[in-house]
Structure 1
Amino acid sequence: MKLSLKIKTAYGIIAIADQCLYFLYGTFFLFFTTTVVGMDPGIAGVIAALGALWDAISSAIIGFISDNTYSRFGKRKIFIICASIPVAIVTTLLFTAIDASMTMKIVYYVCMTLLFWTGFSSFFIPFLAWGAELTEDYNERTRLRSFAYVGNTFGMAIGAVMPTIFVDHLVNMGKTQAQAWHGTAAMISGVVFLSLMIGSLIIKEPSNLADKVHTEKMTFKKFVQMFKELFKGFSEILRLKTLRYAVYASILYLAANTIFVADRLYFYTYNMGLNALSITALMAIEPFAGMIFVPILVATSSKFDKRSQFIIGMSICAGSMVVLRFIGITNFLEAALMLVAFGLGAICYWQLMPAMIYDVCELDELVSGKQRQGTIVSFQAISESLSEAVGLILLGNMLQWAGFDGSAAIQQEKALYWVDNAFTIMPGIFMVLSVYMIYKYPITKKVFNKILDAVERQREGQMADLEEFKEIM
């Protein structure tokens, strides 16, 4: 099914909120809590990891519930609309520096982190599942993700670039660092609210997703049964080795992404000694660095399938990261080249990986006879959560072990050495491992079309021969 420009644009508008929040948290939460709130890096890393782990749990629950929700407001849309206001409020509170004892601060930021990721998964999983439901066309899914990537890019710019500009501007106006961060978070929260509301109101649910209204009363027995079905469904889906390879690849790339994104502000500030203006300029390069590769991926999609594009692009990115570690990054131009290289890996992941996971939905339907798009795409969110937890705990404890001091303008040599490694070679290694997992992922364009043909025959009541798909199940 071909999608209209209006639908693809609306999908891209929702994607602004996705990356806006993801990069705001990933880039600044550790930095905010260590330099503004005054927490030890190890404690801040543990809090961030707790939130990420909770995101994994809430993503699984939201995916299952949205798969089984039918209302006059639609199947996925209702979640996105209902999440828009709470997630905006909590984001503002998350970047509010409270005046309290360290124990109370820890309790506060743990609570805000858990609420933040609950709100995030409440709109992100239904949004991601929409991509699989709006079209079953192999190439159209890639095109849809191109619009999502453009939205992601603007979201990344807002979440990762605008904070440094606004915080610096508000401080120059006489605001404290704490007040500046609070005001900046409130501004970004407003953008998130608008993108979720506007995009979701434009997209009309496919007719097969909005043709039933769920009227059965929820009872405790039904609630327990629902969770039994959730665990059963996850168990069934995880038996698909194709999905497992995609999940492994996601976790590995996102660990690289988390470490790189959270570490770069430390690298620019302490290793390179850049001022706020130069850091802001670099932050502005990264979101749009990947944009130059969008038309390349779209143009080559007819010659190379998603799997091949991912392997080639991510391999180039990983190699560049490792090489730049040994060459060294000492000036603005070299740092900009690093961001362009990283942008290639980012576009390969954010545009291609969701589309590859979408393609698993038809394989699952062929095997199980069920449509579980929300549950399946929740595995990508779970991957993000697990990698976020691993990456932030690793970086936070590594900085503490290396002797990083958030109150010091100049860091000791050991701390600078490990900040450098976390910016270059560590992400590169994780990317190489991600490439290997996608090499093992078996769904090519040819294989997908065979799966789709079999699913369509099955929908018409014919028996499908699963033996020919045994190698990818």
Structure 2
Amino acid sequence: MNNKLSLGAKTGYGMGMIGECLAMNTFYIYFLFFLTNAVGINAGVAGTVAMIATFWGAFTDLIAGTRTDNSTNPKGRRRPFIFKAAIPLGIVTFLMYTDWSIVPDGAKPVYFTIAAMIFWLALSFTDIPYVSFGSEITDDYDERTSIRGISNIINYAGMILASSGTLTVVAMLSKDGGVGDTAAWSKLGLIFGILTLAAYWIVVGTSKGREKPYVRPAEDANVKQPGYFKTCLEVIKIKPYRHILIYTICAYGGVLLFTSMYIYYLSYNVGMTEGQSATVMLVYCFMVMGVSAIYGKIRIEKKNIVIGATMICGIALCAGKFLPVGTVGVYVLFFLFALAISAYFVQIYSMVYDVCDIDEFKSGGGRDGVIVSLFYFIGKFIGGIAMAAVGWILEFSKYDAASLEQTPQTLSGIASGALLLPGILMIIGALVMVKYPVNSKNFNALRGAIDARHEGKEYSTEDFEELLK
């Protein structure tokens, strides 16, 4: 394998992040808001709809990981899935943001639950093979970080559309109905569906010839392969992987809680208009693009970046709950959040790829899809809880979507859900990573041993024993 990739190859792979971002982030940021403020569904019910669909998506991630790992398609294990699954993904993105008049109000929660479940199914079979493909393009420690850095920059080019662009496009397409115009949301879904399909197809087109079909080792040909859940239990035994999963439960849970809640916080607690909120998100996206570019270039240990960025952001969010936050304060909070979220998408994803190499040394490999899909499963499962929590917090706080001004109880509940709870979770996540054992020195020693074994040479595990515990 050619470990060094051209900028064009990295960019072509990274284009898939636009599809992932438009699909996933629009859901996490605006789906709940769309259901409560446009369709008119009760906040608690809307949160439950989002939770059910996201939980379902967590399980479909597991299925997608297994299917792609076991694929014997001569065209490759990942690219054929990306190409085919992107089609229904584009279609259902439109359907999920369309409020059909023929659907009775009482049946709308059912309709949107089904649409969202199909959405997550299609996204699983598009995005899991896409992310897994990233571990197969190169096995170089620094190149993987570079790929994630470029991918994250492109991701936030898509994030401009998903966050700032969503409100702007809805306002442009609206017939004086603002964010409550369901026809404008439907048109938005159509546009984003087409762009999502195109982004994933670009990955398929630009990566032709870079993926080789997986060939099971001859000695394993007649050996019965373990079931999926047994395989999951085996990879969870990898110590660095456990750190990543626990971090995801805590810190990424905080990220998703903030992501699903901040639109309410900006609108009601800070009193920003739709245009001002869109501007905040636009600036935030450029912040993340800049930070991601830096993360992809600097040679500070991944672990240290994750701990520092997550801890600082967590402390700042907690402080924001008790201190007055004006316009300047909002931009400061979003800058610190940009540091943390970039660390997650650049460093943590790269760490997951490193786990694939540890697994290759310990078990022979071939389980990248399981490792990635289980990582995604945890993220989706926590995402479902976070979105449900937002709905429940809003309902408990007596949120009224029809009211331009909310009660002090509601504002306090929104601030707790947007700042305090995410901050606490991020602080816990940062502490979890303190004992993360992988660094550039022991990982490079591991890669050297893998290469030596492939070449039939002798090798020693002395320099990376901690990774094998």
Q: TM-score range by the shorter chain?
A: over 0.9
Contact 1:44 1:396 survives alignment (8 Å): yes
Q: Distance in 2 between matches of 1:465 and 1:364?
A: 17
Judged with a 3 Å threshold, the aligned counterparts in structure 2 of structure 1 residues 263 and 227 are, in CA distance, closer, same or farther, namely farther
**Is 1:204 matched up with 2:208?**
yes
SS in 1 for 2:39: coil
Match of 1:218 in 2: none
Q: Distance in 2 between matches of 1:247 and 1:205?
A: 32
Shift of 1:236: 1.1
Match of 2:309 in 1: 313
Match of 2:367 in 1: 372
Per-residue deviation, residues 269-312 of structure 1 (Å, max 9, x unmatched)? 111222221111112122221122234323421xx211112112
Size of the aligned set, in residue pairs, is: 458
Shift of 1:343: 0.6
Length-normalised TM-score, structure 1: 0.92
Match of 1:297 in 2: 295
Judged with a 3 Å threshold, the aligned counterparts in structure 2 of structure 1 residues 207 and 22 are, in CA distance, closer, same or farther, namely closer
Match of 1:440 in 2: 435
Shift of 1:316: 2.1
Match of 1:45 in 2: 47
Judged with a 3 Å threshold, the aligned counterparts in structure 2 of structure 1 residues 390 and 465 are, in CA distance, closer, same or farther, namely farther
How well do the aligned residues superpose, as a CA RMSD in angstroms?
2.2
Match of 2:62 in 1: 60
Match of 1:110 in 2: 113
Which of 128, 148, 152 lines up with 1:149 in the alignment?
152
Q: How does 1:350-389 map to 2 (within 5 A)?
A: 350-389=345-384
Shift of 1:120: 1.1
Contact 1:88 1:190 survives alignment (8 Å): yes
Which of 278, 294, 310 lines up with 1:280 in the alignment?
278
Q: How does 1:193-342 map to 2 (within 5 A)?
A: 193-206=197-210, 208-209=212-213, 229-301=227-299, 304-330=300-326, 332-342=327-337
**Is 1:418 matched up with 2:416?**
no
Per-residue deviation, residues 32-89 of structure 1 (Å, max 9, x unmatched)? 1111222111111111111111111111111111111122332211111111111011
Q: Percent identity?
A: 27
Q: Which amino acid aligns with 1:193?
A: L
Shift of 1:8: 0.1
**Is 1:8 matched up with 2:10?**
yes
SS in 2 for 1:204: coil
Contact 1:73 1:210 survives alignment (8 Å): no
Q: Which moved more, 1:245-254 or 1:201-210?
A: 201-210
Judged with a 3 Å threshold, the aligned counterparts in structure 2 of structure 1 residues 291 and 226 are, in CA distance, closer, same or farther, namely farther
Per-residue deviation, residues 206-241 of structure 1 (Å, max 9, x unmatched)? 3543779xxxxxxxxxxxx99962222112111212
Match of 2:219 in 1: none
Q: Distance in 1 between matches of 2:343 and 2:6?
A: 24
Shift of 1:469: 5.2
Contact 1:305 1:444 survives alignment (8 Å): yes
Q: Distance in 2 between matches of 1:105 and 1:401?
A: 22
Q: Distance in 2 between matches of 1:146 and 1:252?
A: 23
Q: Distance in 2 between matches of 1:232 and 1:325?
A: 43
Match of 1:84 in 2: 86
Match of 1:21 in 2: 23
Which of 112, 115, 126 lines up with 1:123 in the alignment?
126
Length-normalised TM-score, structure 2: 0.92
Q: Distance in 2 between matches of 1:131 and 1:439?
A: 26
Judged with a 3 Å threshold, the aligned counterparts in structure 2 of structure 1 residues 294 and 363 are, in CA distance, closer, same or farther, namely same
Q: Distance in 1 between matches of 2:50 and 2:461?
A: 43
Q: Distance in 2 between matches of 1:181 and 1:63?
A: 32
SS in 2 for 1:35: helix
Q: Which moved more, 1:90-99 or 1:171-180?
A: 171-180
Q: Distance in 2 between matches of 1:378 and 1:174?
A: 40
Which of 184, 189, 192 lines up with 2:188 in the alignment?
184
Match of 1:453 in 2: 448
Q: Which amino acid aligns with 1:314?
A: T
Match of 2:220 in 1: none
Judged with a 3 Å threshold, the aligned counterparts in structure 2 of structure 1 residues 163 and 257 are, in CA distance, closer, same or farther, namely same
Q: Distance in 1 between matches of 2:28 and 2:293?
A: 27
Q: Distance in 1 between matches of 2:428 and 2:458?
A: 38
Q: Which amino acid aligns with 1:391?
A: A
Contact 1:74 1:205 survives alignment (8 Å): no
Contact 1:367 1:466 survives alignment (8 Å): no
Judged with a 3 Å threshold, the aligned counterparts in structure 2 of structure 1 residues 205 and 374 are, in CA distance, closer, same or farther, namely farther
Which blocks of at least 5 consecutive residues in structure 2 are unaligned?
A: 217-222
**Is 1:134 matched up with 2:132?**
no
SS in 2 for 1:143: helix
Per-residue deviation, residues 184-219 of structure 1 (Å, max 9, x unmatched)? 11111111111111122101343543779xxxxxxx
Q: Which amino acid aligns with 2:50?
A: A
Shift of 1:431: 1.0
Q: Which moved more, 1:457-466 or 1:149-158?
A: 457-466
Shift of 1:146: 0.8
Contact 1:121 1:381 survives alignment (8 Å): no
Per-residue deviation, residues 306-348 of structure 1 (Å, max 9, x unmatched)? 1112112222222222233333213x32212221111111111
Judged with a 3 Å threshold, the aligned counterparts in structure 2 of structure 1 residues 251 and 376 are, in CA distance, closer, same or farther, namely same
**Is 1:159 matched up with 2:192?**
no
Match of 1:401 in 2: 396
Q: Distance in 2 between matches of 1:419 and 1:460?
A: 58
Q: Distance in 1 between matches of 2:434 and 2:105?
A: 47
Q: Which amino acid aligns with 1:47?
A: V
Per-residue deviation, residues 94-115 of structure 1 (Å, max 9, x unmatched)? 1111333344112111111111
SS in 1 for 2:190: helix
Per-residue deviation, residues 441-467 of structure 1 (Å, max 9, x unmatched)? 211111211221222233334687668
